[in-house]
Structures are given as structure tokens and as C-alpha cells.
């Protein structure tokens, strides 16, 4: 199984990086974990056909994590001729927020006769969600994103576990979400700045010994962290990076 960091940046493009978007290529499916506003451009840059994506799994409904979905849908209908279904799964209010955003960006698009099936599903904190070969266990993240909760996702596919913290400050739920994971992707927005709803490197380092994951990779870094990347003992993401799980 392969994971590619199509986008590993923060909301504001620190370091010239694309918004959050990770692509997982498993034995019988290909899906995205988050799909920030720049994700369609990131896919084009990496030579990825958006029509090859079966599902999009969202952690929360901030623009740098979900606003690429409307662009992906309009592109699929108007440019790429998609015919296969696309499942979009996320926290409560995902369907409404995606369709409202699309209507704002492309008036009239929400009511069009789509050439493919769009399947919206919304998962609940602490309750397993399944779709074909994918299992997702959502955990509450220490972050705020409007009506729908912000989540950390523990994803199981092909017998492997990928945990993504989503955005958020430290909470013990992250230990449960990452326990035994083959890969834990951790937001690391700041170096030492303490903000309730985002993670700092200094905070994460205090808990590293407790995190029972086989591999940890940092993402969503601001300029203050990016300028220290070469001196860090922890592995970091970058746009285009491909790893085998």
C-alpha cells in the first residue's frame, strides 16, 4: 500500500506547499484523506487523475481541508467526464457544507444533473464507519470547525492502519487513535507557540514516548517549523513524498 503527500502545507501556503491532501493507493481502492482548496492543482502537479479517486475522507470542514471537493466535483462533471461514483465522507454537516460552498463558487452547480453518482456519508465520533474495504474510526480532535466536529481518523485498509491527527491541540484521544498504527501523520503547525486548537512541535515532543505507532510523520507546518526541518530528529512530510506502508 502506498501513501503520497499531494499536499502537506498549512492553510496559508507556508513554504509554497499545497493544502492538506494525502492519497492512499490500496489493493482495490484509491482515496484521499482531506482535500484542501489547492488539491486539484496538487493532483495535476503530481500527475494524478482525479477520476481515479474512489473516496474522499474528511477530518473537518475548514477550507484548507475540504474546499478542494467542490472544484473536484465541477471538474469531474464539466471537464474530465467522470462516470464512476464518488463517495465523500466526513463529519456531521459535510454534505450541506460542500454543496453550499460549491453553490457559492459556481452558482447553479448544486442543482445540476450530475453525470456520476455523488455519495455523501457522515460519520460519528467513536463509531466505526465502513465503505467497501475501508474502515474508519473517528476520534474527537481538539479543534473547532463550526457545526460539524473536527476529527482525528484511524483508517484501516489492506490490513494496515493509518492515523491522521487532523488539526488540533494535544489530547489523550490521539494516543488511542495512533495506538499500534503503521503510520501516524501528526499536525505540527507551530514550533513552540502554544495555541489551544493546534499542535506545536515542543508539545508533540513531550508526548512522543507515549505514541505507540510504527512511524510518525509531521505535516501542516508553518514557516517557523519548516526552517528547522533539516535539524529535526522527526520525519516530516513534503509535497510529492511517497511512502510504502
Could you tell me the pTM of the whole model?
A: 0.97
- Catalogue the E-assigned strands of the chain: 2-7, 21-25, 30-33, 55-57, 86-90, 118-122, 129-131, 134-140, 151-157, 160-164, 183-187, 216-219, 235-236, 242-244
CATH value at residue 177: 3.60.15.10
pLDDT digits (tens, 9 = 90+) for 40-64: 999 999 999 999 999 999 999 999 9
Ranges 65-79, 103-117, 152-166: which has the least confidence: 103-117
Q: What is the pLDDT of residue 189?
A: 96
Could you give the CA distance from residue 236 to residue 94 in angstroms, rounded to a whole number?
29
Q: Residue 237 in 3-state DSSP?
A: coil
For cell 473547532, the residue is 144
Domain count, the chain: 1
Q: What is the pLDDT of residue 109?
A: 87
Q: Which domain holds residue 102?
A: 2-244
pLDDT at 66 over 90: yes
pLDDT at 111 over 90: no
Q: What is the pLDDT of residue 148?
A: 87
- Quote the cell numbers at residue 215: 512511524
pLDDT digits (tens, 9 = 90+) for 188-215: 999 999 888 999 999 999 999 999 999 9
Tell me what the mean pLDDT of segment 123-152 comes to.
95
Strand ordering across the sheet containing 118-122: 118-122, 86-90, 55-57, 30-33, 21-25, 2-7, 242-244
Q: What is the pLDDT of residue 101?
A: 96
Q: Which of 96, 88, 93 is nearest to 118 (CA)?
A: 88
In 10 A of CB 181, how many CB atoms? 23
- Cα distances (Å, whole numbers) of residue 193 to 49, 115, 237: 38, 47, 20
pLDDT at 238 over 90: yes
Tell me what the mean pLDDT of segment 145-171 comes to.
96
Q: Per-residue confidence at 146, pLDDT binned at 50, 70, 90?
A: confident
Tell me what the mean pLDDT of segment 72-88 comes to.
96
Could you give the CA distance from residue 236 to residue 217 in angstroms, rounded to a whole number?
5
Amino acid at each position: 500500500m502506498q501513501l503520497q503527500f499531494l499536499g502537506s502545507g498549512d492553510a496559508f501556503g507556508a513554504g509554497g506547499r499545497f493544502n492538506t491532501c494525502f492519497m492512499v493507493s490500496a489493493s482495490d481502492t484509491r482515496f484521499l484523506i482531506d482535500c484542501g482548496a489547492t488539491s486539484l492543482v496538487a493532483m495535476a502537479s503530481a500527475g494524478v487523475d482525479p477520476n481515479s479517486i474512489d473516496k474522499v475522507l474528511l477530518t473537518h470542514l475548514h477550507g484548507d481541508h475540504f474546499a478542494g471537493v467542490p472544484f473536484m466535483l465541477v471538474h469531474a462533471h464539466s471537464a474530465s467526464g467522470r462516470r464512476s461514483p464518488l463517495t465523500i465522507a466526513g463529519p456531521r454537516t459535510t454534505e450541506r457544507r460542500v454543496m453550499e460552498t460549491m453553490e457559492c463558487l459556481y452558482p447553479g452547480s448544486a442543482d445540476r444533473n450530475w453525470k456520476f453518482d455523488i455519495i455523501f456519508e457522515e460519520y460519528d465520533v467513536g463509531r466505526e464507519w465502513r465503505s467497501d474495504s475501508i474502515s474508519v474510526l473517528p476520534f474527537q480532535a481538539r479543534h473547532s470547525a463550526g457545526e460539524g466536529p473536527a476529527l482525528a481518523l484511524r483508517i484501516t485498509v489492506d490490513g494496515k492502519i493509518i492515523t491522521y491527527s487532523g488539526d488540533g491541540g494535544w489530547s489523550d484521544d490521539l494516543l488511542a487513535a495512533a495506538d499500534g498504527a503503521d503510520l501516524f501523520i501528526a499536525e505540527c503547525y507551530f514550533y513552540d507557540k502554544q495555541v489551544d486548537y493546534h499542535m506545536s512541535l515542543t508539545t508533540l515532543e513531550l508526548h512522543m514516548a507515549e505514541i505507540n505507532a510504527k512511524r510518525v510523520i509531521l505535516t501542516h507546518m508553518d514557516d517557523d517549523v519548516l526552517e528547522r526541518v533539516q535539524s529535526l530528529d522527526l520525519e516530516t512530510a513534503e509535497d510529492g513524498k511517497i511512502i510504502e506502508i
